[in-house]
Structures are given as structure tokens and as C-alpha cells.
Amino acid sequence: KEAENRPATHAGRAFSRAVFGEHPYGFEATADTLNAISVADMRSFYRRHVVACRAQISLVGAIDRAGSDRIVSQFMAAVQPHGCEPLADVGQVKPLDRAVEERVPFSAAQAQVLMGQPGMARDDPDFFPLFVGNYILGGGGFVSRLTTEVREKRGLSYSVYSYFSPGLHAGAFQIGLTTRPDQADLAVGVARDVVRAFVVDGPTEEELKAAKENLINGFALRIDSNRKLLDNVANIAWNGLPLDYLDTWTQQIDRVTVADIRRAFNRVLQPDRMVTVVVGAQP
């Protein structure tokens, strides 16, 4: 109920619905859907889905193979053998065939803006060009193009970002910002122009060099605790990534070229067919 008082909640819900349609990625929990879940529903879900054949167990820490095998065996012994019926095919995320714009009235000092479309799946062969390219576009904080154009040059937003959210299916590419309600249209236009130019021209060599240096030099911070290592190992298992993924990560980043980024963004993003959601008091 508290979340319903936040414009970000309404923006995220409208964005997911518009981007994913009837695909499960577009489903968002509400008070009504949560209240509709019964104990019988939960037991049925557990019997069908919490099964040994689909378990993935990752362990990181001061433990040898024999010790890890004991832990895994104890865990698996506690999982009831309910069989392993095939999971339902949820289908692929459908691309958008047109631009969609949704404005949601909401009493707030700031308008919440989300823009985007279906992006990439985690197994996309252009994952690294898209990852590095997005760092330059809107994922690199104060050094990103979106921040330069929307915040630094025009003062339209304190914070603006973009990211890909890859999954087993095509997750969202999203741009997000907050701005004064009377500036929302201008901020949307600037962000859209930045994306359009990036898709057509890609980054400069200087932008790519700086992004590579930041990402490669910061790689150690991605694995500097057991918790972070565990998250990375689980990511490898869940997405079926090569076992040497962490060993070759910096080399993969360093191989990315301007041409790779331009080609990948031109293939994946269609700036004129994006969803735009604006939540906030209208001027």
C-alpha cells in the first residue's frame, strides 16, 4: 500500500505493461493479486517448481569440494521428489510495432519519466558491445551522454540513467529520469534525440577509450567480496555462461570497437518505436 503512494511505482507498472504486453515480464504484483493467493496455491506452486532437477546451487568461500558436496547433499535431501514436469513455454518477448506514450496524472512535485523498449536476452552475441555502449550512453553516471545533455547542459534533471536488463528472454532497455512537470516534454525530447544520435553514429573513440578504462579498472570491485563472487557465479549458472566468464571479462570489454557498438545498437534499439511513460502532476 505504501508503494502505491510513489510515482515510481505507477511509472514502473505502466512501463512494464506497455513494453511486455501479455508476456510474464510485464506482470506486476498488486494488492489484489497478492490477496488472491491462497495457501493451496502456494503448496501447488511448491510441488510443481521447487524440485531437485531444476536446482542450481552456488557456493563461495573457504570450503573444499568434499565440504561443498556435503552441503549440497543435505540441501537436496530436503527437497521433496515431486517429479520434473516440463515448464510451460512462455514464448519470446514481442518487439514493439509503434511508439506508445502514456501519461498518468499524479500529485507530486516531480514528474517520473521512463522510456524504453524490449532490449536483449542475456545470451545475445552482442552483450558486451551493448553493455559498453550503454555505459557511454547512460550507465556511466556523470560521464554518460544522457547526463551531459539532460543534466549538465540543460539542467532538466538531477539524475538520468539508462540500462539493459537482460534475462532468459529479452529484458527491457530503459531510460529513467525525474524532472519538473513543466519540463517533462523537453526532457523526453532531449533524451530521445540523444538515443537516436547514439544509435546512428555510436560513440567516439575517446568515449570508448574512457569507458573501457573505467570498466576494466573497476572490475576488481565487482568481485571483492564473497557475496559479489557468489552473485557472479550464480549468474554464470543461471544464464549458462562459459566457466571462464570472469577470467575473460576484461578481455571481452577491451575487444569492443566503435563499429561493434554502432552495429549492435542499430540492431537492437528503435528510438522511434519506444514506450514513453510520464507520471506526475501536469503543468
Query: Which phi and psi (to 5°) does residue 23 adopt?
Result: -65, 145
Locate the domains of the chain by residue range: 31-78, 99-279
Q: Which are the contacts of 202, defined by CB distance < 8 A and separation ≥ 6?
A: 133, 258, 259, 261, 262, 265
Of 41-50, 83-92, 174-183, 232-241, least confident by mean pLDDT is 83-92
Of 45-59, 116-130, 141-155, 250-264, least confident by mean pLDDT is 45-59
The whole-angstrom separation of Cα 177 and Cα 161 is 7
Task: Provide the 8-state DSSP code for 95.
Answer: P
Rounded to two decimals, what is the model's pTM? 0.92
Residue of 157, 167, 219, 223 lying closest to 187 (CA atoms): 157
pLDDT at 283 over 70: no
Is 267 in contact with 93 (CB distance < 8 Å)?
no
Query: Which phi and psi (to 5°) does residue 164 adopt?
Result: -100, 145
Pick the CATH number of 99-279 from 3.40.50.300, 3.40.50.970, 3.30.750.24, 3.30.830.10: 3.30.830.10
The whole-angstrom separation of Cα 184 and Cα 179 is 6
What pLDDT digit, counting tens, does each position of 239-260 carry?
999 999 999 999 999 999 999 9
Band of the pLDDT at 53, cuts 50, 70, 90?
confident
Q: Spell 138-149 as b/e; 16+ CB within 10 A means b.
A: bbbeeebbbbeb
Is 171 in contact with 177 (CB distance < 8 Å)?
no
pLDDT at 281 over 80: no
Q: What is the pLDDT of residue 276?
A: 98
* Mean pLDDT, the chain, integer: 94
